[in-house]
Amino acid sequence: MGIMLFAGNQAWAQKDTTMWMVMNEYRVHDQSIFEKNYPVVRAFWLKADTGTSDRIGHTSESGRVYTLALFKGAQNFGAFMGKRVKINDAFEKAQPAINKQNTQNLNGAVVRSIWVRVDSLSRFEPGYKMVNYDFRKMNMISVTADKIKEYEANAYKLGQMDDAHGIHYNVAVFRCTEGYPTNTYLVFLPDKSLMDYYKNRDMRYSKRAQFKNDYDPMRRLATDLSLIVRIDHLDRVK
């Protein structure tokens, strides 16, 4: 019986493709120090926790820095949460100079939040890899608390309409589970650069304008159900 249960758990873990994300956001005195040290931090944590799908750090237009750690499946995410303090302690011992520099560079509190990707609202072009996109437009959206299903259904229809009209792009949508109210969403639109983002955005707007009567009712509903509470432009630290 124990062997059967173990095998069942292993099979479930292999099938669990839920993408979890831990986001840390904070301000620093000197972004160049963050940019210099983050690749060392990233490499250490990826080696220490092989269950991490990826880690990516950003500076931003707002002056915040954002670090994102992604995990495929609840088992990998849970394992990380159980050992992150030990890994952090190990980094302090292995890289004391960088750890001291990073600590002194902090300018205020670190906000940590946990998110789960909404796959029905996310779409990626073939061959998409997060590290191949140096820019991200980020919208943080607050949805009316008792209208989550209506909001997601409407957003899904908008995405389906884009597909039907040949409007293809990458977008990752996450819903918060901890750190912000659970009716909070993050929408990431990755692109090669800020200029590429504006060019591709204008192309999308132009195509949608051809079907204005179809899009307008759903856009109005989205506006009624939600409010954009933050817009930021993120640049990947290489």
Domains identified in the chain and CATH numbers: 17-114 (3.30.70.100), 119-236 (3.30.70.100)
For range 83-97, the mean pLDDT: 97
Please, what is the average pLDDT of the chain? 93
Task: Place 5 in a pLDDT band, splitting at 50, 70 and 90.
Answer: very low
Q: What is the pLDDT of residue 27?
A: 98
Q: What is the mean pLDDT of residues 197-204?
A: 97
Cα separation, 51 vs 56, whole angstroms: 15
The number of beta carbons lying within 10 Å of the beta carbon of residue 59 is: 20
For residue 4, what pLDDT is reported? 37
Indicate whether 3 pLDDT > 80: no
Q: How confident is the model at residue 14, as a pLDDT?
A: 55
pTM summary value: 0.91
In angstroms, rounded to a whole number, what is the distance separating the alpha carbons of residues 34 and 29?
Answer: 9
pLDDT digits (tens, 9 = 90+) for 123-153: 999 999 888 999 999 999 999 999 999 999 9
DSSP 42-90: HHHHHHH-TTEEEEEEEEETTSEEEEEEEEESHHHHHHHHHHHHHHHHH
- Give the mean pLDDT of 2-10: 42
